[in-house]
Amino acid sequence: MLILELETTAYTAEQFPSLDVPQVALAGRSNVGKSSLINALAGRKKLAKISSTPGKTRSLNFYRAAGDGFYLVDLPGYGYAKRSKTERGQWAALMDVYFQKSTGLQAVVVLLDSRLPPQKLDLELISFLQRESIPLIAALTKADKCKNKDRSRVQRQWKELLSPSAPLILFSAKTGMGKQTLWAAIREAAGM
């Protein structure tokens, strides 16, 4: 069983741990299923908080993968409509500092809702990562909710937008679909 331990919760850049440790970050729109994915990877129910109210988490959570010594970094979800302009500005500023300082960052797992067509904010994040030459792993979440016949269409859509080297993984926290594949991709990206 994979062991993830929450080491640091950071609301400000001053609270970041040492960022030269190898790390893989997780990013996605609010409510995309990021906390559920972390819990599924760790095989625990309440490691990351699953919120019924979207848009709550504003911290960066640094989980240490025990045995491997790299961080899995849970970045705060973006695109929550009810957030104020000031809050969105604070989010963007904190992300900027994180990406600037994170010399150990090896890849970003971008979580994309398998039931939705590509969304503007997701595409912006993907372009940013491509510009910065940060390797990307795409996880298509809530795949259990996506009808069989729609799955290959969604995969095809994303394949056209992503670089051929980016793993594209159908994932479900509910059924465990894609869990092993995603974990293997994360470890490989982290250089383990």
According to the binding rule CB under 6 A, does residue 97 interact with ligand GDP? no
Interactions with ligand GDP, residue window 118-177 (CB under 6 A): 141-142, 144-145, 172-174
Residues 27-46 that bind ligand GDP (CB under 6 A): 28, 30-36
Q: Which is nearer to ligand GDP, 21 or 29 (CB)?
A: 29
Which 8-state DSSP code applies to residue 49?
Answer: P
Say which DSSP state 127 is in.
Answer: H
- For ligand GDP, the closer CB: 129 or 143: 143
Minimum distance from residue 175 beta carbon to ligand GDP (Å): 7
Per CB under 6 A, the segment of 24-32, 95-103, 117-125, 146-154 that binds ligand GDP is 24-32
Question: 32 and 151 in contact (C-beta within 8 Å)?
Answer: no
Contacts of 189 (CB under 8 A, 6+ apart): 24, 106, 107, 135, 137
Determine how many CB atoms are found less than 10 A away from the CB of residue 11.
12
User: Rounded to an integer, what is the distance from CA 27 to the centroid of its chain?
Assistant: 3
Per DSSP, 152 falls in state: H
The contact set with ligand GDP (CB under 6 A) reads 28, 30-36, 50-51, 54, 77, 141-142, 144-145, 172-174
